[in-house]
Every structure is written in structure tokens, then in C-alpha cells.
Chain A
Amino acid sequence: GENVEQHPSTLSVQEGDSAVIKCTYSDSASNYFPWYKQELGKRPQLIIDIRSNVGEKKDQRIAVTLNKTAKHFSLHITETQPEDSAVYFCAASSPAGSSNTGKLIFGQGTTLQVKP
């Protein structure tokens, strides 16, 4: 079945710097890749997602890139702010009818700390 690896597990940056989190997936049929942000004790919230028919998507300070050949995708946060501090999860999903029947498989999470 699908396996998603996420790196790094922790990331510390200075305010204003960029942060990059990388994920790799194993199932070449995966076609949907969301990113979630989870603040301490709260629900995961979708921040951006990308589908396999595009290579890059941007929303203000957040961007996601997808390399289908290498089976990896990355989250880029520019001009980081202290409120960006949270745990970030990547996930991958395959279409219904594949071995994963459309389930989201999550990475292990990255704890991002933005120092003022």
C-alpha cells in the first residue's frame, strides 16, 4: 500500500526566513496531495493542496511543488512569521479503484518553530 515519508521531523527558522518540508510517496497512482497545519491541541486544517495534473500551486506565502517522476512533493513557506509555528502534515491519496481506495495516507509530521 501507499507509504508517505516526511522530512524533517523538526525545523527551526528565524522569522522572515523560508521553510521547506519534503514528502515522498510510494504509490505512483496517487493523484491528490493535501497539506495540513495543526496547532497544539487543535484540529488539522487544510492549508493547500495539489493534484497530479499540475506541478506547482501557490497561495500567498505558501507554495507546493510536485514531482511525479520522483514521487515527491514539498511545502514552501516564505517570509515566515511566529504564527506559522505548528505541526505540518503532508498526505497522499490514490483514486478509488486503486489499492488504497482513496484513503489519505499521512506523513509523520514536521514541527516548525519560527523564532522571533
Chain B
Amino acid sequence: DGGITQSPKYLFRKEGQNVTLSCEQNLNHDAMYWYRQDPGQGLRLIYYSQIVNDFQKGDIAEGYSVSREKKESFPLTVTSAQKNPTAFYLCASSPAQGQDQPQHFGDGTRLSIL
């Protein structure tokens, strides 16, 4: 799954600060996703995008924002409104949504509060 690159690997956020996590894919996939993973829990969907310039909220979108200006890129911003941002964030992509295709994951970004 080397086609999905997340950066940075580790990120620290100060109180009241917005931070942006990068996700780039060169797999020519239409659909991209952001998940949050907390210890002992499964993957929870934050936002997803089926096509450029379009995205939808997932199950836990509050305090997060995204953009999809290019097919290859789907950055996630963790805003100051997200009061508990400490987690492991995973980006994924698939050829197209809803067509029984597996999602391929990046290596993740671990976000912590300073």
C-alpha cells in the first residue's frame, strides 16, 4: 500500500490551534476517507469523499474539516473546536465507493496535545 502517503507521522497541537494532516495518493482512486482510531476502539469515520470537490460527513465530523481540490489529495484539519484530538488518524482510499472494493490505508498520523 505504498501509494498512500500521510504526513507528518507525529504531530503536536497547542491549545486553540488548528492543525492540518496531509494525505496524498497516487493510486488514481476516486474515493478517500479519514478515520480516527482510539485505543481499544475500532476505526471511526470522520469524513469521506467520492469525487473531487465533494465530501460528506462521517460519524464523528464535529471539530474537523476537509477539502478535496485534487483527486490525489484529501487533507484533514483538526480545529480548535475538537476538544479531544489525541488519537491515531488514518487516511484511506478505494477505487470507487460502494462497489465492494477494499480500502487501502496510509501509515497514519499520531496527534497529541502539548
> Which A positions have Cβ atoms within 8 angstroms of B?
6, 9, 31-32, 34, 36, 41-46, 49, 51, 89, 93-97, 101-104, 106-109
The CA-CA distance from A13 to B63 in the complex, in Å, is: 41
> Which B positions have Cβ atoms within 8 angstroms of A?
1, 33, 40-45, 48, 56, 58, 90, 97-108
Q: Which of A44, A97, A107 contacts B90 (CB 8 A)?
A: A44
By a CB distance below 8 angstroms, the chain B residues around A108 are 40-42
The CA-CA distance from A96 to B100 in the complex, in Å, is: 9
Can you report 9 A-B residue pairs in the complex whose CB atoms are below 8 A from each other? A42-B108, A49-B102, A89-B42, A95-B98, A101-B98, A103-B58, A106-B43, A107-B42, A108-B42
By a CB distance below 8 angstroms, the chain B residues around A97 are 98
Using CB atoms, name the residue of chain B closest to A94: B98
The CA-CA distance from A33 to B114 in the complex, in Å, is: 39
The CA-CA distance from A105 to B107 in the complex, in Å, is: 20
Pair A96/B98 contact, Cβ less than 8 Å: yes
Pair A31/B100 contact, Cβ less than 8 Å: yes
The CA-CA distance from A41 to B58 in the complex, in Å, is: 23
Pair B102/A46 contact, Cβ less than 8 Å: yes
By a CB distance below 8 angstroms, the chain A residues around B106 are 43
Given contacts A43-B90, A44-B105, A45-B1, contact A93 B43 (CB under 8 A): no
The CA-CA distance from A31 to B44 in the complex, in Å, is: 20
CB of A7 to closest CB in B, whole Å: 13
By a CB distance below 8 angstroms, the chain B residues around A94 are 98
Given contacts A89-B42, A89-B43, contact A34 B102 (CB under 8 A): yes
